[in-house]
Amino acid sequence: MTREEANRLLHAYIDGELDPAKSLELEAHLAENPSVRAACERLREMSTAIRDKADYHAAPAWLEARVRAAIPAGRKDASARPTRWKWLKPAGSFAMAADWLRPAASLAAVALVTWVVALGTMRPGEDERMTQEVLASHVRATLSNRSYDVASSDQHAVKPWLSARLAFSPPVADLSASDFDLVGGRLDYIGAQPVAVLVYKRRQHLIDVFVWPVEEQKAGKTLTRDGFNIEHFAKNGMGFWLVSDLNRGELEDLARLLAERSAAP
Amino acid sequence: MLATGSVLLHETDPVALHDTDPVPLHKPLSEPKRRFEQWVLPHFDAAYNLARWLTRNDHDAQDVVQEAVLRAYRFFDGLRGEAKPWLLSIVRNTFLTWLQINRPADTVGFDDGLIELIPTDEDGPEIQAARNLDRKMLNEAIAALPVQFREVLILRELEDLSYKDIARIADVPIGTVMSRLARARRLLAESLGPTANISGTQVHK
């Protein structure tokens, strides 16, 4: 990587927008070039200064009240729907072109509803359901070769990237001294909420650490499903699920380390 | 759960559903205002913050936001994906319309022109870190940035949006978001003078 390219990529890097391969390349470059590293630090400082000190202009309460009042209560076209279902619909031109797919889509939707209702009546325990969801997420990420959205061994890059996209700030520990290397993070959707996934690596094993806020404390417990080991515990307001093909003993080590480091600094 | 399913069916094939399923299991879709308030108005502060930084004064920001939210309500059906970038793109477009009517001379600011070609400076003397910046100076320096740089900076640093969302709001490719953001930070560092020398874009050896 040339110095010029490194300088150009610094912005995307501090913004958590650099793709995995380039991040690693840039980090290698930073390690060797103190002046580029210093530039990177100054950029971060500038970014932090703006976030901390620039005025955030919240709307005056009376303005929101006035605007709410100005919104007409009824409309001719009353088909506004929450958008979270939109993704279930084939997008744009595809939907138009493939009219013949519509009956099929309806059938699929009926099948889905049946399945959802069936699931509802079966009601596996909360933990069992979470276990299946995190395992599915881990397998999906491994199969699609997309284990992380942000690649970085720097917890100071991964944490803000995740915090910026979630309603909570997950604890991200640097455990490289214990031979668990942070390789990145991604977002996923577990138990009907967006969660953080930290990806650690030991030898060739990737370990997904799912983190989201919970209220209760839970002692560690180890499970095995389909050849994967799963660790679960909850501490300091965060629930942790670890999933990997790493052996049980080592996964327990990681769980212990994470539990020790989970307290907010 | 059933209500969920029926919305889904309706979404997929409204006509067939009408024929085969005369009993509406879902709540009638006649509460657009409530839905709008629930989905869009949580981002009212973000809308105001953007409008305030674009117009640089409270009065105009109020006008722009009010108009933008009413526009958003009219186009609510067009909402795809997340509400926040969608609403902010409407705020930005409303601002552009407002600008054309009220400050036609300023609209040239949105033309990218030679921006990407401006040569970068050499590394200046390193003095004080950005963390020691004076709050007032910083706000004034941001307000003084040309509008196309100001908006990407505000969307990135104060609204914490991704490049993708910023690209959607500013209606430019992601590459342009990156170069504008780099330029914005550099201009800011320059205008803040020696108290905040950053050189993320310097290329000299």
Q: So what's the ipTM on this one?
A: 0.73
Cα separation, A2 vs A6, in Å, equals 6
Chain B residues touching residue A40 (CB < 8 angstroms): 200
pLDDT of residue A51: 92
Q: Which of chain B's residues have a Cβ under 8 Å away from the Cβ of A107?
A: none
CB B166 within 8 Å of CB B176: no
* CB environment A236-260: b (16+ within 10 A), e (fewer): eebbbbbbbebeeebbbbbbebbbe
* Domain at B28-108, CATH class: mainly alpha
Q: What is the pLDDT at residue A244?
A: 93
Average pLDDT, integer, range A233-254: 92
**Which of A41, A55, A66 to substitute to test the interface with B, most B CBs within 10 Å?**
A55
Other beta carbons less than 10 A from residue B195's beta carbon: 15
Q: Rounded to whole angstroms, how far apart are CA atoms A179 and B59?
A: 57
Residue B186, pLDDT > 50, answer yes
Q: Name the average pLDDT for chain B.
A: 74
Q: Nearest-CA residue of chain B relative to A35? A: B199
- Greater model confidence, B76 or B29: B76
Cα separations in angstroms, A253 against A217, A246, B110: 19, 11, 55
The answer to whether the Cβ–Cβ distance between A85 and B8 falls below 8 Å is yes
Which residues are A225's β-sheet partners?
Answer: A228
- As a whole number, mean pLDDT of residues A167-184 equals 89
State whether residue A66 sits within 8 Å of chain B by CB.
Answer: yes
Residue B22 has pLDDT above 50, yes or no: no
Neighbours of B96 (CB within 10 A): 16
Looking at domain B115-196, its CATH architecture is Orthogonal Bundle (1.10)
Q: Which bin fits B142, alpha (ψ -120 to 50), beta or left (φ > 0)?
A: alpha
Query: In chain A, which residue's Cα lies nearest the Cα of B189?
Result: A46
Candidates B145, B198, B204, B205: best to mutate against A (most CBs of A within 10 A) is B198
A193 or B123: whose pLDDT is higher?
Answer: A193
Domains of chain A: 1-39 (no CATH), 126-261 (3.30.200.100)
Long-range contacts of A152-155 (CB under 8 A, 24+ apart): A152/A23, A152/A24, A152/A27, A152/A182, A152/A183, A152/A184, A152/A185, A153/A24, A153/A27, A153/A181, A153/A182, A153/A183, A154/A27, A154/A182, A155/A182
Q: Are the beta carbons of B191 and B144 closer than 8 angstroms? A: yes
Task: Note which residues in 24-63 of chain A have CB less than 8 A from chain B.
Answer: 38-40, 42-43, 45-51, 53-60, 63
Decide if A82 and B198 are in contact by the 8 Å CB cutoff.
no
Q: Provide the pLDDT for residue A192.
A: 80
Using a CB-CB cut-off of 8 Å, the residues of chain B touching A42 are: 129-130, 189, 196-200
Answer yes or no: are the C-beta atoms of A150 and A161 closer than 8 Å: yes
Express each pLDDT in A66-99 by its tens digit: 898 888 876 544 343 333 333 333 333 333 444 4
CA distance B56 to chain A (A): 10
Nearest to A10 among B11, B196, B200 (CB): B200
Q: Does A88 touch chain B (CB under 8 A)?
A: yes
Nearest by CB to residue B198, choosing from A39, A73, A75, is: A39
Is residue A133 within 8 Å of residue A139, measured between CB atoms? Answer: no
Q: pLDDT at position B131, please?
A: 57
Give me the sheet containing A193-202, strands edge to edge: A150-151, A181-190, A193-202, A205-213, A238-244, A228-235, A218-225
Q: What is the pLDDT of residue A75?
A: 52
Question: From the CB of residue B116, how many other CB atoms can be counted at a distance below 10 Å?
Answer: 12
Return d(Cα B115, Cα B152) in angstroms, integer.
14
A125 within 8 A of A221, measured Cβ to Cβ: no
Q: Does A4 touch chain B (CB under 8 A)?
A: yes
CB contacts < 8 A (A, B)? 201
Query: Which pLDDT score is estimated for A147?
Result: 75
Confidence of residue A111 (pLDDT cuts 50, 70, 90): low
Residue A123: is its pLDDT beyond 90?
Answer: no
Minimum-distance CB partner of B158 among A15, A56, A83: A56
Nearest-Å Rg of the Cα atoms of chain B is 22
Which of B5, B158, B189 shows the shortest C-beta gap to A46?
Answer: B189
Contact indicator for B68, B94 with CB cutoff of 8 Å: yes
| Residue range A32-52: mean pLDDT, rounded | 91
A213 has which bridge partners?
Answer: A238
Give the model confidence (pLDDT) of A138-154 as tens digits. 988 887 777 777 778 88
Record: contact A55-B5, CB cut-off 8 A: no
Q: At which residue do the structure tokens 């933990």 appear?
A: A127
* Token pair listed for A203: 């030898």
Q: Does the beta-carbon distance from A12 to B163 stay under 8 Å?
A: yes
In chain B, ranges of CATH 1.10.1740.10 domains: 28-108
Minimal C-alpha gap between A7 and chain B (Å): 5
Mean pLDDT value of segment B196-201: 43
B61 chain-A contacts, CB cut-off 8 A:
57
Contact B139 A55 (CB under 8 A): yes
> Which pLDDT score, from 0 to 100, does residue A194 have?
86
pLDDT on residue A107:
61
Copy the structure tokens of residue A151: 């690649």
pLDDT over 60 at A263, yes or no: yes
The answer to whether B47 contacts A64, with C-beta atoms less than 8 Å apart, is no
- Select from A48, A109, A165 the Cβ nearest to the Cβ of B8: A109
Give the nearest partner residue to A53 out of B77, B135, B205, using CB atoms: B135
DSSP-derived letter for residue B112 is -
* Residues of each domain in chain B carrying CATH 1.10.10.10: 115-196
Mean pLDDT value across residues A117-145: 73
CA distances from B161 to B72, B83, B149 (A): 19, 12, 15
- Confidence label for B88 from pLDDT (cuts 50, 70 and 90): very high
Residue A146: other Cβ atoms inside 10 A: 11
What pLDDT, on a 0 to 100 scale, did the predictor assign at position A124? 52
Percentage of residues of chain B with pLDDT beyond 90: 47
Per-residue confidence (pLDDT) for residue B163, from 0 to 100: 95
pLDDT band at B164 (very low <50, low <70, confident <90, very high): very high
